[in-house]
Each structure stands twice: as C-alpha cells, then as structure tokens.
Chains A and B, each alone.
Chain A
Amino acid sequence: MASRVGSRLAGTAIAVFLAFAVCAVLILLVGANPLEAYAAMLEGSVGGIAALTTTGVRMTPLLLAGLGVAISFRAGVFNIGAEGQLYLGAIGATIVGLMPLGMPSWIHVPLALLGGIVGGAIWAAIPGYLLAYRGISEVVVTLMLNYVGIYLASYLVDTESGPLGERGASYSQSAQIQTVARLPALVAGTSLHLGLVIGLVLAVALWAMIRWTPFGFRLRMIGANPIAARYAGVRVGNQIVAVMALSGGLAGLAGAVEVIGLRYRLYENFSPGYGYDAIAVALLANSHPLGVVLAAGFFGALQAGANRMQQTVNIETSLVFIIQALTVIFVIAAPKVGRFTFPRRGAGTPIEEARGEAVHAG
C-alpha cells in the first residue's frame, strides 16, 4: 500500500518535471531564460506570506471543486460539470447571503454555505438521475449544464433586468452580501479566507468516508465494477444519484466560498474556469482526496506564480495552463505508454481485445 502510493507520487513528480522541461523549450523559443522564469514563478507562489496567501486563495476553489470531481470519478461517474455546479453554488450562497436575516454570523455563514451546497447538488443530481434511471450520458448532460449554469448567473446579475443584479452598476454583478454572511479572513489584511480550511477538513473527511464507511465502500464498488455491485445488492441507481449530489455539492461549495469569502458579490463570469481546472486536479490526484490537496496546491501555486513571471521575464501567464495540461497528460499517459512498450505475456494485446469485443458487441 505504502509503496503503491510512493510509486504513484514518484510518477507524478516525473510528469511534473517533464511538463516543466517541455515548457522550458517553449520559453527558450520566445527568447527568455526558463530558469529565470521559473524562479519568478516560485517567488510569486511560495516566496513569502503574500505569495503564499495568493496561492491559498487560488487553491481554495480548485480544492473544493476538485474534491467533487474526484469523488464522482471514484464512483466511475464522469462529472465534468463542476463549472456549472460552481455557478449554481455561488447563486445559492448569494441569495442566502443577501437576505437580511438579522442573525449572527455563526448562523448566517453556514446557511449561505448550505445554499451553495444545495445549488450545486441539485445541478449535479439532474444528470445523475438521467444517467442512473434513463441511461443518458452524464458527460454530455453535465457539460451542457455548465452553459446553462453560467448564463443563468449572467441573467440573474444583469444590471437592468436581473433579479439579483445591482441596478446601474458598470459591470454585471449582484449587490454586496450581508457583512455577517461573510467568511472571516485567515490571515488579517489578506484575502485568504476560511474556505481553505473548510476544503482541507473536507479532504480528510472524504478520505475517511471512502475508507471507513459502507457508503464509501459502495461508492468504490460501483466505480470498480458496477455489474458486480448490482449483483451484490447495491442499488446502483440510487448510489449514482447520491454520489452526483455529493460531487455537485462540493463544487457548489467552491462557488459559495468564492462569493462569501472573497468577492462578497456574485459577478458575471466570475470563475476563470475553476470547474474545468478541477477536472485536471482530480485526474492529477488519481481521484484521491488527499492527492487533490496536493494537486490543487500545485495548480494554485502555478496560477499565483504566473503573474510574477509575466512581470519579471514578460512571459504570458497562459504558459502555466500549458504546464497544467501537460502535467495531466504525462500523468495519465505514463502507465499506458509503459504498457504498450512492454505487453504482458500471455494476455491478448489491448488491440486484440478491443477487436474481439467489437466482434462480440457488433
């Protein structure tokens, strides 16, 4: 067990190294010094308190949404709709956060978070139901619901006609949420907020859930072999809907803390694709909740360091997204490439098996 985790981490480290190496070539091609660029990135992400808090802020939504995506992957369900669920979560938290409830913060904040969880959970439960009971591809439905969610938020905060829109504002946004509905800062004077701690606690909680509860056991069962799970009496349909709701709830929470912890408003297009990056985070983490912490931290650091890199050596921040993408590709490809190079003896090659399957299925 320990050695499996170890070799997995080593493999990921190699993938990260390869991604940086390939990008170093790109940096050379635009005539800059890659070492300087990477030094600037390091400085901007972990060099000092300010850099670290920036990393933490960028990491928080990636962590929460990444946990959501990872949990669906573990159940063999491909929820790629974290972006839409994140918007629904932000909408839910904004609605609750705007209400003048006259309650203390320790009630209003959890209620706002709950609003975010419910919003995301509903958004994910819809494709979950369609998959479990109607056999409709969750990939297509979650992907399409992203657009619905994003533009639903745009409509809601429209400055002229949106029910939540702030009239006369120069940008499409809601009014500011109640002061008591805001998440406290972790480090005074910075924008790092309690959302990061919530994410870290949930990562541990999810890890424990997968490992120590019957629900987690069944989740792994349907992920590893849904047919055997059905034969063992698991109500696979219910389990899928439950997992999707959980997955969407976590993504919704990511949107919620972004609103009540950082921006205090719902803005149009506020997410720079956190929900999509969350897919990469989950893939990089091999869908392990604790791995998600590392992966989200890594991506958060990359994104935090990107600005410094642009200022220092004048390299586009988009480079870090190339690094992100390459890292994931290398992580995913590495074991497969190995298998094609060294086919196991005795077994049919994957091509043979696929052909046999095709004949059978045809």
Chain B
Amino acid sequence: MEGITKRFPGVLANDQVSFDVRPGEIHALLGENGAGKSTLMKILYGLYRPDAGQIFVNGRAVDIDSPRAAVEHGIGMVHQHFMLVPNLTAVENAVLGLPSRRPPLLDLEAARARLTELSADYQLDVDPLAPVWQLPVGAQQRLEILKALFREARVLVLDEPTAVLAPAEVDQLFRIVRLLAGQGRGIVFISHKLEEVKAISDRITVLRAGRVVGTLPTAGASAGHLAQMMVGRPISLDRQSPPVAGGDTVLRLDQVNCLSDRGVPALRGVSLTVCRGEIVGVAGVDGNGQREMAECIAGLRRPTAGSVAISGTPVRGVVRDPALLGFIPEDRHRTGLILDFDVAENLVLKTVGDRPYSRHQILDWGRIFEHARGMIRRYDIRAAGPWVRVGTLSGGNQQRVVVARETGGDPALLVAAQATRGLDVGAVEGVHQLLREQRERGSAVLYIGTELSELLALCDRIVVLFQGEIMGEVPPDQRLIGRIGEMMMGRRADGEPTDERAA
C-alpha cells in the first residue's frame, strides 16, 4: 500500500500511509486507538475507498473496491468483531458467499472434508458441524482464520486478535500464526499491545494520528522506544501553577464495580478521589472502562458495588444540577449534542424545564436566546448566531458549545472524556484553556484521555486504568512516559504484571 490517504469529515484518518508485507513475514501494525490502523485495513479489504494512494499485490497495481475483490486478490481478514452467523454451523459459515460447486444446491460434504483437512494441517481445531453460537471465542477465531484459508488467502490480516483471548489461547494463536507465515503467507498483525507485538512480529510499523511514525525490525526495538513512537513525543510542557492548596475532596469513588453494556465487568474495585483545584487524568487504552467510569459518576450507569459521591452527595440517578456536575462526554456527536438542534437549544438541553428558561411549563425563548448570546460571547463560539444548527459548526466550536453548557453553571466537579478527540491543534489548546480556567476557579476536574502527551501537559496527577482496574498513580512527569505506557498495557505501578483477562 503506497501513499494511502483517507479523510473523514473533520478527521484525516490516514495521511500518506505506506505499508508493505512480504511473503512469510509477520508485520505488526502498532498504534493507539484512533491512530488509523483499522481504517488502513478497511481500505485494504475494500470496505473503504482511499482518497489517494494505490494498493499493489505481487507488484501489480490493483483496485480493491469491495471485500469480494480483496478475497479474489488473496487477502483475508479476521475482524476484531467476528463476521460469523451464529445460527449456522462452522462449515456453513466457511462456504457463506462462495459459489457452490454444484449449483443451485449446496455442496456441504465436500466443504466439510476440505475444512477438516485444513483444520488438521494448521492445528486449527474446530468442529465443522457445530453451530457457531456454541463455539467458544477461541474456536470462532480459528474458524475465521479457516474461512480465510478456505478462500486461499495469501495475505492474512488479524485485527487485534488477542483482545478476546485468554493467555493460553494467545500462545496457541501465536503458534498458528508462525505456522502460516512459515508457509509463505504474509501476516499483518494489528495490535496496541507492545509485548505481544515484540513476541510475534518480524517487523513493526507504528502509526500515530494517521501517519506512519516509522517501520523497524522487531529485533532490537525496545518497548520504551516503541511506546514513545506510539504516543508521540510530548509537546512543550507549559506546567501550570501548583494545585490550589488544601482542596477539599469533591469526587469520591469507593470500590466501584460496574458492568458494561454487554453485561461483563467494566470496572473492578475502582477507588479515586478528586479535590478542588486539581485536574486528575485517567490514562488508558480506549475501552478499558473509561466510559463506564464517567457514566457512573454522571449517574447514567448504576454501579453493581461501591459508591460514588460528589461534594458528599451520593449519586443516584442522572445528575442534572449544573452547579454540581459538568460532564463533557466522549463522542460529542452521539452523546453531547443534538446536531439537528440549534446552538441555543443545545445550550439548554439539561435545564430547559427549569427557570428561567421555562415558567409554568411554557418555554421562554427570549431567555433561551439571551442565554445563548451570552455563552457565545463568553466562550467565543464561532457561530453566526444562536439559531445556527450545531451540526453545521466546526468540531472545535461544537465542543465549545458542550463545554459552555457543562461549565456555565460553575460546577463543583467537571468530568471531561476525550474532550479534544478529533479537534485540530488550535481547538485543542482552546479546550485545554477552558479546562484550566475551571481548575483555577476551584472546580475539581477529572480528565479522561488516551493521548499521554495531552494528559502530561494538562493534569496534576494521572491514574492509569487497565481492564477496569486502576494500575496506579503517577505524577505528570514526561520521563515516566514509558512506565505509564507499560501500565496502560497492564503492568502495575509496583512492577507486577497483572494476568491478562479475556475482555
């Protein structure tokens, strides 16, 4: 793949990315979530069309406009979320979408024989007649690999394949991957786990913010160096004034457990306090319980154990008091804003039913617009007026609308999740400034982020979250970047590695 560029509205997902994999090689693609790994592979598999760049297979320029074309060019993919039909058997899944050898009837017997043969050859043990929903996760993954082999894949892409596996299964997967590479197949191994990548790959390409940071042979690459490449060198550290002294505890999480939407544990015994006048950062790879943590604090998710209290008040149900909590949720388009509503409406989403915005169940549009005009001035929101649809604003200005709504009531606690994701540099600085103002005003701020450099620049202390547990707390010292990186991969602050649990 050469010079691949892909733009999404407001985001450059891939910027002139070049990447190659040789026969018999295991090439790891390493990067944080949002670095552009998945986008690049979706382009390779024909799910996205690149805006620029060219894909070559065996030295020949090819046009891959659909997954079918990718398969024809010998590219196989094992997605992070499996693409299997739960009600069908393993063999039925394997032939799904392929032409039958004796149409219009299926030829499952031949397929079964072939699948059994492949199973034996590659130690990919799967019962061909078992319905997929009965198969354990590891077997489903082996079936996905078998599917690709069934389609005679020469290049096999594995997207975060260990995320769903137990440690023993990881070892088995690694054996299989080496066997496949040994037979001359090219393997692309996508991961954000350093140890794993070091253990399995021959070469490593690091992606950050849509760009290739570098490609280097695995032998001789140190974990610390890779971590630096992944998270980027910290930008200038203009440290702020020390925390407002003697701050009272505002947020207290005590042994909080909770479940994710899928009903699996998302937080395990999380205890944390945030005081007046400090910004506490929560570092961690995306999907390690950050969203659930924020939702527990905001009262949007009920902990299964433990307690959450803001300014001594236990959180029960959604916290709507603007003087108590401001909550800047991740993914402003989905959770923070109503894009079809105008600026004025978005600024009163939580308070529209209260005075002065409505009286006797009648909205006072005059007050609502007046409020919006004030906020537009105070937060420097670049919009032609309060009536402008929020969906038409730039990302930075959209985020300003959210920040204005959530900090306009001078909350005791401000929780911000990924508040700068997808924003350009200037807008990021603007949001940081607004957060610092809150801190200096005496608010307690909890900042949830994935960009280490940002957390280091912004926070007074940093806790690291891994699989729903706090790995430890560190001061925001950029010399500790490697250690924080290791903690993000599951190594505790005291150096003891935790056992990797299946997600």
Please indicate whether A and B come from the same complex rather than being unrelated chains: yes
Residue in A1, A213, A215, A221 whose CB lies within 8 Å of B338: A221
**Chain A 321-362, CB within 8 Å of chain B: the 1/0 string?**
000000000000000000000000011100010011001111
Contact B82 A362 (CB under 8 A): yes
CA gap between A227 and B9 in the complex, in Å: 21
Which of A152-160, A230-238, A267-275 binds B? A230-238
CA gap between A233 and B138 in the complex, in Å: 40
CA gap between A231 and B335 in the complex, in Å: 6
Contact A232 B48 (CB under 8 A): no
Knowing A213-B361, A214-B363, the reply to whether A356 touches B42 (Cβ < 8 A) is yes
CA gap between A43 and B341 in the complex, in Å: 43
Contact B7 A224 (CB under 8 A): no
Task: Flag whether B460 is at the interface (Cβ < 8 A).
Answer: no
Task: Flag whether A106 is at the interface (Cβ < 8 A).
Answer: no
Contact A233 B320 (CB under 8 A): yes
- Helix, strand, loop or mixed for chain A's interface? helix
CA gap between A1 and B349 in the complex, in Å: 21
Task: Flag whether B326 is at the interface (Cβ < 8 A).
Answer: no
Contacts of A215 in B (CB 8 A): 361
Contact B335 A212 (CB under 8 A): no
Contact A214 B361 (CB under 8 A): yes
Contacts of B48 in A (CB 8 A): 348, 352, 355-356
Shortest beta-carbon distance from A81 to chain B in Å: 26
Q: Give residues 359-398 of B contacting A (CB, 8 Å).
A: 361-363, 365, 387
Contact A362 B83 (CB under 8 A): yes
Residue in A218, A221, A228, A348 whose CB lies within 8 Å of B334: A228
**Chain A 208-252, CB within 8 Å of chain B: the 1/0 string?**
000111110110110011011111110000000000000000000
Contact A224 B9 (CB under 8 A): no
Task: Flag whether B49 is at the interface (Cβ < 8 A).
Answer: yes
Shortest beta-carbon distance from B355 to chain A in Å: 11
Shortest beta-carbon distance from A139 to chain B in Å: 22
B77 to A, closest residue via Cβ: A359
Contact A224 B353 (CB under 8 A): no
CA gap between A355 and B319 in the complex, in Å: 37
Contact A231 B329 (CB under 8 A): yes
**Chain B 329-359, CB within 8 Å of chain A: the 1/0 string?**
1000011111111000100011011000010
CA gap between A359 and B77 in the complex, in Å: 11
Contacts of B365 in A (CB 8 A): 212
Contacts of A231 in B (CB 8 A): 298, 300, 327, 329, 335-336
Contact A224 B334 (CB under 8 A): no
Shortest beta-carbon distance from B318 to chain A in Å: 4
Task: Flag whether B47 is at the interface (Cβ < 8 A).
Answer: yes
Contact B336 A217 (CB under 8 A): no
Contact B361 A228 (CB under 8 A): no
Q: Shortest 7 CB-CB distances between A and B: which pairs?
A: A214-B353, A232-B349, A233-B320, A233-B318, A225-B338, A224-B340, A224-B338
Known: A215-B361, A356-B42, A360-B81. 8 other contacts (CB 8 A): A213-B363, A218-B352, A221-B349, A231-B300, A231-B329, A233-B318, A352-B47, A362-B83
Residues of A within 8 A of B (CB): 1, 211-215, 217-218, 220-221, 224-225, 227-233, 346-348, 352, 355-356, 359-362
